[in-house]
Structure 1
Amino acid sequence: MTATPTDIVRDFYRKLAAGDAAGALCLMAPDIEWITMWHYKVQGRGPGPVAEGLFKPLMAEWTSFSLVPTEFIADGPTVVSLGDFKGVHASTGKMSEARYAHVWTVGDGKIMRFRQYIDTLAIAQARA
């Protein structure tokens, strides 16, 4: 049975929750486009730039964090996940709880595009 776009997105969150960043990266298309709203910027396309521009600095800045999806809305290859980012900032020790919406585009069994919308004020308050 072929995995649906929602199955692939759920698998991405499961792999991140299990600490399997490499497994999460393997779910991405070689030319994935990754768009974020906060200070982490992914330069270029592909899993490598996502690891360098997002995963590494995110893990360095937060002593712990989780992405907890609470709802999935799917329409063909597009999946929207709504949920919560929860994390403890390494420098300030402050806890952040920020609501997010992630918009995923999946094709040929791979994540082709990611767009993030997040409560940047909640993140900024934890960083200050």
Structure 2
Amino acid sequence: MGAATAIVQRVYTAFGEGNVAAILDLVADEVDWQFVGSENLAYAGLRRNRDEVAAFFAAIPVADAIHVFEPREFIEAGEHVTVLGWEQSTALDSGEDFASEWAHVFTVKGGKITRWRGFFNTAARYGL
């Protein structure tokens, strides 16, 4: 396991503990952070700094109740780490349960996350 993967794994540990402050400590001052999804999804869109990333994490429990969140595979290529995982959640706007595999792609430079992309099956969330 390389240094970039170790930092990314710390993010997931902190997320599991609900420790957003610990996650933000691992994010660069200027960041390119985006969940790719429908603009109707509160946590979708681009964030450029730690305050905006904090707002991303604040929007998640308003939109979705996550019951199971499992990072399953870490693939490191230098400063880039791709994480494949699975989640089971409830969309709070509809009350519908959904499950989806997901992919997160991180870039880590100088011990800080400088870029993140998140993807999951948003159609499953909307019951499509």
TM-score by length of structure 1 reads 0.85
2:125 alignment partner in structure 1? 123
**Unaligned runs of at least 5 residues, structure 2:** none
1:68 alignment partner in structure 2? 70
Show structure 1 runs of 4+ deviating over 4 A.
Answer: none
Say which structure is richer in strand. 2
User: 1:12-51, aligned counterparts within 5 Å?
Assistant: 12-38=11-37, 39=41, 40-51=43-54
Q: Are residues 16 and 29 of structure 1, via their aligned partners in 2, closer, same or farther at CA, if it must alter by over 3 Å?
A: same
Give the one of 71, 83, 86 matched to 2:85.
83
Q: Are residues 107 and 42 of structure 1, via their aligned partners in 2, closer, same or farther at CA, if it must alter by over 3 Å?
A: same
Q: Give the secondary-structure state (helix, strand or coil) at the position aligned to 2:48.
A: coil
Q: Give the secondary-structure state (helix, strand or coil) at the position aligned to 2:33.
A: strand
Q: Give the secondary-structure state (helix, strand or coil) at the position aligned to 2:106.
A: strand
1:65 shift after superposition: 4.3
User: 1:90-101, aligned counterparts within 5 Å?
Assistant: 90-101=92-103
Q: Are residues 41 and 93 of structure 1, via their aligned partners in 2, closer, same or farther at CA, if it must alter by over 3 Å?
A: closer
**8 Å Cα contact 2:86/2:101 also seen in 1:** yes
**For 1:18 and 1:113, how far apart are their aligned partners in 2?**
22
**Unaligned runs of at least 5 residues, structure 1:** none
Which is worse superposed, 114-123 or 56-65?
56-65
Kindly report the root-mean-square deviation, in angstroms, between the aligned alpha carbons of the 2 structures.
Answer: 1.9
TM-score by length of structure 2 reads 0.85
Aligned residue type for 2:53: V
**Identity percentage over the alignment?**
29
Which is worse superposed, 32-41 or 58-67?
58-67
**8 Å Cα contact 1:13/1:67 also seen in 2:** no
